Amino acid sequence: PAEVGRRLGAAGLALWERATGAGRRPLDLVRLPVDFAAGWTYEPPVESLEPLLFRLQRHAECLAAELRAAGLVAAALTLTLTLEDATAHARDYPLAEAGTEPDIWLKVMLSHLEGLHLPARLAAAHLRAQAVRPQSRQDGLFDSGLRDPLAFGENLSRLTALLGADRVGTPVPVDTWQPDRFILEPPARVVPAATPPPVHAPLGGVLRRFRPPRPVEVEWTRGRPVHVHGAVAGPVMDHRGPWRVSGGWWGPETWAVETWHVALATGVFQLARGTDGWVIEGEID
Amino acid at residue number 129: A
Average pLDDT, the chain: 83
pLDDT tens-digit map of 34-70 = 889 999 999 888 888 888 889 999 999 999 999 988 8
- pLDDT for 193 beyond 70: no
For CA atoms 155, 161, 163, 164, the dihedral sign is positive
Cite the beta strand spans of the chain per DSSP E.
37-46, 73-83, 88-99, 122-132, 144-145, 170-173, 182-185, 190-191, 207-221, 224-230, 234-235, 238-247, 255-264, 267-274, 277-284
Give CA–CA dist 40/56, Å, rounded: 9
pTM for this model (two decimals): 0.49
The three-state secondary structure class of 215 is strand
Give CA–CA dist 126/96, Å, rounded: 22
What is residue 65's predicted lDDT score, i.e. its pLDDT? 92
* Bigger pLDDT: 18 vs 165: 18
Alpha helix (H) ranges present in 27-179?
50-70, 102-113, 149-163
pLDDT tier at 3 (50, 70, 90 boundaries)? confident
pLDDT tens-digit map of 228-239 = 998 888 999 999
- Chain Cα centroid distance, residue 22: 58
Give CA–CA dist 117/112, Å, rounded: 10
